[in-house]
Chain A
Amino acid sequence: MEIAVLTKGVPDFREGQVSFDEDGHLERGKTPTVMNPNDKFALRAALQTKVRHGGNVTLCSMGPPGYENILEEGMRDVYADDLVLVSDREFAAADTWATAITLTTALEHMDKEPDVVFAGFKTADGETGHTGPQTCWGLDRPVLTHVISLDIEPENDVVRAKRLVEGDVDEIETVEAPLPCFVVTDPEFEPTYRRAEHRLELKDLREQTKRRAENYDDHLTMWNHEELNLDPDFVGLDGSPTIVSSVDPIPKAPSEREATMVTPDDEEGMEQVLEEMTPFAGGD
């Protein structure tokens, strides 16, 4: 099986990593970029497919050259055989539409067309959830979204998946699609390995992948707009129909209470506090 996974780098929003300036703007320079957390589920689904049916996993991202690290992370943590970084100034400032067009072209440009393409559900920063389905539309394939578990029967060219209806964990349906297809994994996705041979294979892959990731750049391919034969007018900012008219910060909730700061060392201040609190102590 040929398997491709789409992934994006996002600011690491975890406590202690993320940094905002006084106005509440994200400080990109100070915040590390990591693989979009939801994309790990896509990679796990891809890995499950590889373990069960064999084949090759290509991890693909569109973004600045720094995204190399994201791809390396994908190789190290979740496993990938090959890495493709689609990177060019012409691709910059793409909206989801232009992103999808670029990714579609990259997927079609691969040596072997992937039997299954996996994408994550929503990124931690853009959060549109558009990119997967739009790329799928570009590829003209059936799409399975909110997938939480997956069984593929390559001999019958069939994919069977459990998915959340409307993203609701309480409503699960089982659907079937022909191969090739496009799968968007839900964060509820759980790989299953019910055969010992698969778990052994998985153990082998973890070992191999650790070693492979040490020389990840041997397995990395970069494509720019020329290599993909993409017209700059249709990608990046120029190819993005979305117009951002303005960006409004969400105002802070106004504080209606008056507050005075008192340090516990300040005896006089503390006395005053106690005095003011006394009437409430009786439960009034």
Chain B
Amino acid sequence: MTDRERYEAVVVGAGPGGAAAAARLADHGVETLVLERGVDAGAKNVSGGLIYAEQSAPYTVDDLFPGFREEASERPITDYKMDNIAGNRVKTYDLTPLHENDTLWCDSVLRRKMDSWMAERVHEKCRESGGGLLTDVRVNGLLREDGEIVGVTCDELDDIEADVVIAADGVNSELAREAGLMDWDDPEEWFQGVKAVVDVPDGFVQETFGVDEDEGVARLFSGDLFQDARGGGFMYTNQDTLSIGTVFHLDSIVEERAESHELLNALLTHPHLSNWLPDEYDEIEYSAKLVPDSKKVALKEPHRDRLLLVGDAAGQMQAQGPIIKGMNHAVTAGALAADAYVTARGRSGETAGQRYATLLDREGVMDKLRPKSYDWTSGISEHPATANVMETVAKSPVGRAVLRTGAAESLVERAFNSPRLLSMLPDIKPAYVTVPSLIGAEQGAPVSGESTVEPPTLEERIGDLSYNTDIGNPHIEVRDNSWAASGTAVTACPVSAEDFGGGCYRSETVGTNGSEERVVSLDTQPCVECGTCAVVADTEWEHPRGGKGVEYEQG
């Protein structure tokens, strides 16, 4: 038996968090091994995706990866609007001031292209410092000695020891859970994001959105088009595609028993969208993933022993009102984790983990992720009574009358553009549904277009995805298949639906001792590894082995 392999640093995951951590470690000359489970970096990843470079951030992605904007991103986003929809009335607010607040630049991205581009650079850098980046390798656990974390274990490789393990393994981080730093218990802590990438003809974006080659548009949608589900929709322009998606609070999807794909379809087929969609709707990819809500889950001490958590794995995903900032924080945190390790190594006293937590705090990252104003006010503002009062006031003749005034129009627009107010925005229905739809109803103008979009069926969407199925080795197991424990997954799983037999979760009725019982069954073949059923159902949830499962081309 040969001796155990060891590297100075092991980074798990090659998303923006892992890439940044590894690049920074390699720049410090640290021997760094990056392990990524996808066939290619980005093959497993989904974002909306607008990546921000914040003025106040100690590291931005182009600091670490020169040439990023020219080679890895799609379009600079120069125009940012929000549409409040009520029926077919729409009121548009210009949120460009909010979008530009603390922003050096912001580009749309597609993750397969972005992540694989960064991974190539990471591999080159790490190779120079004695490590490198490997794809097709899934880390399946933490290596411990005398109970202490000293490295990682993998499906495809023998145990690996490291002085520091940086887990940048995303929202469904198995390592964060194994270390006892995160759980999969509460739907309130997560959003679910679902996205379609739509192909458009060359030059279509410029013509339709009235922008140049190096300009782009972001539009947000909220109001009553999603029934009562709390969340909203987005549309971002890429080079020659559009990213159109929805992000909803997971607890709301659970409560409403909403079908995720139908919420997306409600957006796609809304007449308002026909303004920007080509006559022939050509969806090239359907994808989904959980999104952490940093306000609730961002860890103040994201570390244990030699393990440091970075990005979504540590819950570092900020929803600033309609603006979603995950990738930029993952980049910053990754670089800070690397710096923390380098500062702390070989010294007694402060550990790398403690140092990392200090840096997150000192550089203002924690304040963005867990705004104090939200912590102070959420107790009251998210109290059910508040929701009732707000709902009643907003809907009352007085509330409606106020919204109709010109003063209210500019006031609301100003409020939406205030980062501080948005950071306090409570996660309750009035904020997401009632107010936006009242704005739409009271201030909006009717939309003219008619939708011709016929979104693909779930079956077609699954059929268009590539899978490398690990036959006979399902990565998720249902622990309790009763309807009460796991039934929600049938609707909440983005590739399952009531009355659809070709998805992951199905409802079945079985007869036992004369009585009938409703249960769920699971087939992981069409799974897009979003993580939803880890939270909403009673499962034993793991990622598939390296190189197996779904493979996104766009992401």
**Which A residues lie at the B interface, using CB under 8 A?**
193-197, 199-200, 203-204
Contact = CB atoms under 8 A, between A and B. Distances in A.
B204 interface: no
B134 interface: yes
Contacts of B158: 194-195
Contacts of B157: 193-196, 199
Nearest to A199: B134
B39 interface: no
B439 to A, nearest CB: 54
Nearest to A204: B127
Nearest to B2: A195
Interface of B: 2, 5, 7, 33, 35, 123, 127, 131-132, 134, 137, 156-158, 160
Given A203-B132, A203-B134, A196 B127 contact: no
Contact of A200 (B2, B134, B156): B134
A193 B157 CA distance: 7
B132 A195 contact: no
Contacts of B134: 196, 199-200, 203
A193 B134 CA distance: 12
Contacts of B2: 195
A139 to B, nearest CB: 30
A195 B5 contact: yes
Contacts of A200: 33, 127, 131-132, 134
B376 to A, nearest CB: 47
A210 to B, nearest CB: 15
B440 to A, nearest CB: 54
Given A193-B157, A203-B132, A204-B127, 7 more contacts: A194-B158, A195-B5, A196-B157, A196-B160, A200-B127, A200-B131, A203-B134
B131 A194 contact: no
Nearest to A52: B2
A199 B127 CA distance: 12
A200 B128 CA distance: 12
Nearest to A200: B132
Nearest to A201: B132
Contacts of B160: 196
5 contacts: A193-B157, A194-B158, A196-B134, A203-B134, A204-B127
Nearest to B158: A194
A193 to B, nearest CB: 8
The 6 lowest CB-CB distance pairs between A and B, nearest first, are: A200-B132, A194-B158, A199-B134, A196-B33, A194-B157, A195-B5
A199 to B, nearest CB: 5
Contacts of B131: 200
Given A199-B134, A203-B132, A203-B134, A194 B127 contact: no
Contacts of A194: 156-158
Contacts of A204: 127
A115 B127 CA distance: 30
Nearest to B134: A199
Contacts of A196: 5, 7, 33, 35, 132, 134, 137, 157, 160
A200 to B, nearest CB: 4
A204 B131 CA distance: 12
A111 B514 CA distance: 81
Nearest to B159: A194
A195 B158 CA distance: 6
A205 to B, nearest CB: 13
A196 B137 CA distance: 9
Contacts of A197: 5
A194 B131 CA distance: 15
Contacts of B35: 196
A235 to B, nearest CB: 44
A200 B134 CA distance: 7
Contacts of A193: 157
Nearest to B160: A196
A235 B380 CA distance: 95
Contacts of A195: 2, 5, 157-158
A194 B134 CA distance: 12
B131 to A, nearest CB: 7
A155 to B, nearest CB: 11
Contacts of B156: 194
A195 B7 CA distance: 12
A193 B2 CA distance: 13
B13 to A, nearest CB: 15
A208 to B, nearest CB: 12
Contacts of A203: 123, 132, 134
B330 to A, nearest CB: 23
B89 to A, nearest CB: 57
A197 B2 CA distance: 13
Most buried by A among B7, B35, B132, B158: B132
B126 to A, nearest CB: 9
B128 to A, nearest CB: 12
A51 to B, nearest CB: 13
A196 B151 CA distance: 13
A199 B36 CA distance: 13
Nearest to A195: B5
A200 B137 CA distance: 12
Nearest to B132: A200
B12 to A, nearest CB: 12
Nearest to B10: A196
A140 B354 CA distance: 64
Contacts of B7: 196
B39 to A, nearest CB: 13
